[in-house]
Amino acid sequence: MRSRDTKQISIEVQSRYLEIQSAPESGRFVFSYTITIHNQGDAPARLLNRHWVITDANGKVQEVRGEGVVGQQPYLRPGERFQYTSGTMLETPVGSMHGSYEMVDDAGDHFDAEIPPFSLSLPRALH
Protein backbone atom coordinates (compact mmCIF):
# COMPACT_ATOMS: atom_id res chain seq x y z
CA MET A 1 0.00 0.00 0.00
CA ARG A 2 1.42 3.34 -1.03
CA SER A 3 1.25 6.25 1.33
CA ARG A 4 -0.72 9.28 0.25
CA ASP A 5 -0.79 12.88 1.37
CA THR A 6 -4.09 13.03 3.25
CA LYS A 7 -4.00 16.81 3.20
CA GLN A 8 -5.63 16.45 -0.22
CA ILE A 9 -8.87 15.65 1.61
CA SER A 10 -9.84 18.58 3.81
CA ILE A 11 -12.51 18.30 6.48
CA GLU A 12 -14.39 21.19 8.08
CA VAL A 13 -16.73 20.79 11.04
CA GLN A 14 -19.42 22.97 12.60
CA SER A 15 -21.09 21.76 15.80
CA ARG A 16 -24.26 22.95 17.48
CA TYR A 17 -26.03 22.26 20.78
CA LEU A 18 -29.59 20.98 20.32
CA GLU A 19 -31.41 22.37 23.34
CA ILE A 20 -34.82 21.03 22.26
CA GLN A 21 -33.54 17.40 22.24
CA SER A 22 -31.47 17.73 25.40
CA ALA A 23 -32.44 17.07 29.02
CA PRO A 24 -29.65 18.54 31.18
CA GLU A 25 -31.38 17.47 34.41
CA SER A 26 -31.04 13.86 33.19
CA GLY A 27 -27.47 14.21 31.95
CA ARG A 28 -28.50 14.27 28.29
CA PHE A 29 -26.76 16.86 26.10
CA VAL A 30 -27.42 16.45 22.37
CA PHE A 31 -25.23 17.99 19.68
CA SER A 32 -25.33 18.05 15.91
CA TYR A 33 -22.30 18.42 13.70
CA THR A 34 -22.10 19.30 10.03
CA ILE A 35 -19.12 17.91 8.15
CA THR A 36 -17.85 19.19 4.81
CA ILE A 37 -15.39 16.88 3.05
CA HIS A 38 -13.49 18.51 0.18
CA ASN A 39 -11.30 16.63 -2.29
CA GLN A 40 -8.49 19.09 -2.98
CA GLY A 41 -6.33 16.49 -4.69
CA ASP A 42 -6.00 15.46 -8.31
CA ALA A 43 -7.53 11.97 -7.99
CA PRO A 44 -11.05 10.79 -7.10
CA ALA A 45 -11.60 9.01 -3.78
CA ARG A 46 -14.45 7.17 -2.06
CA LEU A 47 -15.19 7.32 1.67
CA LEU A 48 -15.49 3.74 2.91
CA ASN A 49 -15.58 3.85 6.72
CA ARG A 50 -15.65 6.26 9.66
CA HIS A 51 -13.95 6.16 13.05
CA TRP A 52 -14.93 8.60 15.79
CA VAL A 53 -13.48 9.17 19.25
CA ILE A 54 -15.98 11.07 21.43
CA THR A 55 -14.87 12.32 24.85
CA ASP A 56 -17.03 14.03 27.48
CA ALA A 57 -15.93 16.36 30.28
CA ASN A 58 -15.66 13.42 32.70
CA GLY A 59 -13.12 11.74 30.44
CA LYS A 60 -15.58 9.07 29.29
CA VAL A 61 -14.55 7.94 25.80
CA GLN A 62 -16.81 6.37 23.20
CA GLU A 63 -15.41 4.96 19.97
CA VAL A 64 -17.67 4.61 16.96
CA ARG A 65 -16.73 2.71 13.82
CA GLY A 66 -18.94 2.09 10.86
CA GLU A 67 -19.40 1.92 7.15
CA GLY A 68 -19.79 5.21 5.30
CA VAL A 69 -21.55 8.27 6.65
CA VAL A 70 -25.33 8.80 6.92
CA GLY A 71 -25.87 5.60 4.92
CA GLN A 72 -23.64 6.68 2.05
CA GLN A 73 -20.13 6.09 0.76
CA PRO A 74 -19.61 9.32 -1.17
CA TYR A 75 -17.34 9.36 -4.23
CA LEU A 76 -15.53 12.68 -4.57
CA ARG A 77 -13.90 13.75 -7.80
CA PRO A 78 -11.17 16.41 -7.63
CA GLY A 79 -12.68 19.70 -6.45
CA GLU A 80 -15.94 18.12 -5.25
CA ARG A 81 -17.40 18.48 -1.77
CA PHE A 82 -19.76 16.31 0.27
CA GLN A 83 -21.64 17.69 3.26
CA TYR A 84 -23.74 15.88 5.85
CA THR A 85 -25.14 16.44 9.32
CA SER A 86 -25.22 13.90 12.12
CA GLY A 87 -25.30 14.01 15.89
CA THR A 88 -24.16 12.62 19.20
CA MET A 89 -25.21 12.67 22.84
CA LEU A 90 -23.03 13.37 25.88
CA GLU A 91 -23.63 13.08 29.61
CA THR A 92 -21.86 16.44 30.17
CA PRO A 93 -22.38 19.93 28.68
CA VAL A 94 -18.89 19.96 27.16
CA GLY A 95 -16.92 17.40 25.17
CA SER A 96 -14.93 16.85 22.01
CA MET A 97 -14.73 14.63 18.95
CA HIS A 98 -12.06 13.65 16.45
CA GLY A 99 -11.46 10.74 14.15
CA SER A 100 -10.78 9.68 10.59
CA TYR A 101 -12.37 8.51 7.38
CA GLU A 102 -10.96 5.51 5.56
CA MET A 103 -10.77 6.48 1.90
CA VAL A 104 -9.83 4.56 -1.25
CA ASP A 105 -8.69 6.00 -4.55
CA ASP A 106 -9.38 4.59 -8.02
CA ALA A 107 -6.09 2.66 -7.95
CA GLY A 108 -7.33 0.78 -4.88
CA ASP A 109 -4.96 2.52 -2.46
CA HIS A 110 -6.47 3.05 0.99
CA PHE A 111 -5.62 6.07 3.12
CA ASP A 112 -7.00 7.86 6.17
CA ALA A 113 -8.33 11.40 6.08
CA GLU A 114 -7.96 12.79 9.60
CA ILE A 115 -10.89 14.64 11.17
CA PRO A 116 -9.42 17.39 13.33
CA PRO A 117 -10.59 17.66 16.96
CA PHE A 118 -13.60 19.91 17.53
CA SER A 119 -15.52 20.88 20.63
CA LEU A 120 -19.08 20.13 21.63
CA SER A 121 -20.36 22.64 24.15
CA LEU A 122 -23.38 24.56 25.28
CA PRO A 123 -23.35 28.17 24.13
CA ARG A 124 -21.23 30.22 26.52
CA ALA A 125 -20.01 27.06 28.35
CA LEU A 126 -16.46 27.72 27.10
CA HIS A 127 -14.96 31.18 27.34
pLDDT digits 0-9 by tens, 47-70: 999 999 999 999 999 999 999 999
Q: What DSSP character marks residue 41?
A: S
Q: What is the pTM of this model?
A: 0.89
Instruction: Delineate the domains of the chain, giving CATH numbers in brackets.
Output: 6-120 (2.60.40.1470)
Task: Report the relative pairing of strands 110-121 and 94-105 from DSSP bridges.
Answer: antiparallel
pLDDT digits 0-9 by tens, 82-121: 999 999 999 999 999 999 999 999 999 999 999 999 999 9
User: Distance between CA atoms of 115 and 93, rounded to whole angstroms?
Assistant: 22
